[in-house]
Copies of this chain bind each other. A is one copy, B any other.
């Protein structure tokens, strides 16, 4: 465990969004300018292999990352603002694994992404991204 990895790991644990490698590099460089992009790539790959980090694809050609948490969760992307909202839903988990079973498979992993538009008169806790609005249970 070297200095660079510590910095990158720290950046990742602080992040509650879904940064891509470029953004991680930017944040890590701010803390320690002796870090190269290659190291960021190598580190995220390492962490992904160990299950500490998860790679996401929300379109746009670059991978984005987030810390693995216990319990799976899903993403709802606001198609107007690009904001990503995390949520968890047990019904969804069980429905999906039930479906896999019916098709003759054991569900190993899965993902679900919803793309939506905010309802006009909605609850929509918009405004300053209070940095830890966290995962919503729905």
Chain A residues in the interface with B (C-beta under 8 A): 57, 59, 76, 78-79, 85, 87, 89, 91-92, 95-96, 99-119, 122-124, 136, 138
Contacts and interface: CB of A to CB of B under 8 A. Distances in A.
B96 A122 contact: no
Given A91-B95, A99-B87, A105-B122, A112 B115 contact: no
Contacts of A89: 95, 99
B108 A111 contact: no
A119 B99 contact: no
A110 B57 CA distance: 13
Given A104-B124, A105-B78, A99 B111 contact: no
What copy number does this chain have within its complex?
2
Given A96-B114, A105-B117, A106-B116, 18 more contacts: A76-B103, A78-B105, A85-B103, A87-B99, A92-B96, A95-B95, A99-B114, A101-B119, A103-B136, A103-B138, A104-B122, A105-B116, A106-B118, A107-B114, A107-B115, A108-B115, A108-B116, A111-B112
B115 A109 contact: yes
Contacts of A57: 57, 59
Contacts of A108: 79, 115-117
Contacts of A114: 96, 99-100, 105, 107, 110
Given A110-B115, A111-B112, A104 B92 contact: no
